[in-house]
Amino acid sequence: MNKVGVRSNYVASVFATQLMLEQKNGLIVNISFYASRKYYGNVIYGVAKAAVDKMAADMSVELKKSNITCVSLYPGYIADKRKKPNPKKESAQFIGRAIAALALDKNVISKTGQVLVAAHLAKEYDFTDIDGIQPKPFDTL
């Protein structure tokens, strides 16, 4: 969890930041989950997700002056092969749409350091999943 889940987010962010500093603009989105705030199955999973959230929060402090936004994004349950609609399951494309909406937001820097929920962003930016459904949040913060 820590070696791959946390370290990979950090390493990718470092390399991305080098490019973003040159252009004085950017968006770093770390995929995390509610386990950082509530027990979901085991301790190390929660610790890894909390580390990802903290990394986004701390990076936002250091990078805000360079107009680089850093956030954590919580998806719901990902289910690409749905047998029937489920308002709490999301396709991988839905998460991509959330990131695209953030990238198009000219005021995205106002969200820097925050934990965001994909289903909440769908309402804010008015997008749906690939099946036309606007999933409900998996959980509340």
- Give the gyration radius of the chain's Cα atoms: 15
Which two three-digit tokens encode residue 112?
A: 């820097």
The length of the chain, given as a count of residues = 141
Q: What SS3 class is residue 28?
A: strand
Integer Cα distance of 111 and 50 in angstroms: 18
Q: Which of 34, 40, 45, 74 is catalytic?
A: 45
What are the residues facing 115 on neighbouring strands? 72
How many distinct helices (H) and strands (E) make up the chain?
A: 4, 5
Integer Cα distance of 131 and 138 in angstroms: 18
Known catalytic membership, residue 77: no
User: Active-site residues: which are they?
Assistant: 45
